Amino acid sequence: MSLMIKICGLRDPRALGAAIDAGANAVGFVFADSVRRIEPAEAAELAAGLPANIRRVAVMRHPGVELWQSVLQLFRPQVLQTDAADLDYLDVPKEIETWPVLREGAALDSLPGRFVYEGGQSGSGRTVDWQRAASVARRGDMVLAGGLNPENIAAAIRTVRPWGVDVSSGIESAPGIKDVNRIRAFIAAARAAETEQ
């Protein structure tokens, strides 16, 4: 099965277009406190012309119910990515896929079938322990996140063998500013590493 590549923290049409053209499978829009935050109506406008095969991901962290309802109604995501505990109180329609975020160091006694694995703080540019992540990746469909970039993605894929990868700060020229050349380089390196498996 093909590696799922998600480009996260998108806020402008040029970066979104570069991600799609280069072969991303999912695009993430951040509705949490971050330099990458976007309003639901803006995200809806930006994502309006997305091809049907590209997953629209709402990225949140401990959202209020009112914000989630706004994202749900205006942006209409196909996937909700948020901390696992948030799913206990959010009303998520069954047609929306959920990617619970599991953070390195937390107890992982039971795992959902599909999840995002990253460090304590999203968007910080810090990698997780890939050896530890590799053992977790064998237990479900892991989307590996945290500190990935065009320079290290091949090694990350070879070590962890995740179902998917998620990048944000590693493809930026400055915090919150996506670099189209780094987007292309990241996806190319990921696809090249995928064929080595």
State residue 124's pLDDT score. 63
Contact 160, 134 (CB under 8 A): yes
3-state secondary structure of 102: strand
Contact 29, 10 (CB under 8 A): yes
Flag whether pLDDT at 122 surpasses 70: no
Q: Kindly indicate the confidence band of residue 176, based on its pLDDT and cuts at 50, 70 and 90.
A: very high
> In angstroms, how far is CA 23 from the centroid of its own chain?
15
Mean pLDDT computed over 162-190 = 97
Helices vs. strands in the chain: H and E counts, helices first: 6, 10
Q: Which domains does the chain have, with CATH numbers?
A: 4-196 (3.20.20.70)
Q: What percent of the chain stands above pLDDT 70?
A: 96
Between the two ends of the chain, the Cα-to-Cα distance in Å is 11
Q: Minimal CA–CA distance to 24: which of 9, 41, 7?
A: 7
Flag whether pLDDT at 123 surpasses 70: no
Token pair belonging to 6: 């998600």
Flag whether pLDDT at 46 surpasses 80: yes
Q: What is the DSSP letter of 183?
A: H
State residue 127's pLDDT score. 87
List the alpha helices (DSSP H) in 61-179: 65-70, 130-137, 153-160
Q: What is the DSSP letter of 74?
A: I
pLDDT in tens, 49-85: 899 999 999 999 999 999 999 999 999 999 999 999 9
Flag whether pLDDT at 1 surpasses 60: no
Strands (E), the chain: 4-7, 26-30, 55-59, 79-83, 97-103, 114-118, 141-144, 164-167, 172-174, 177-178
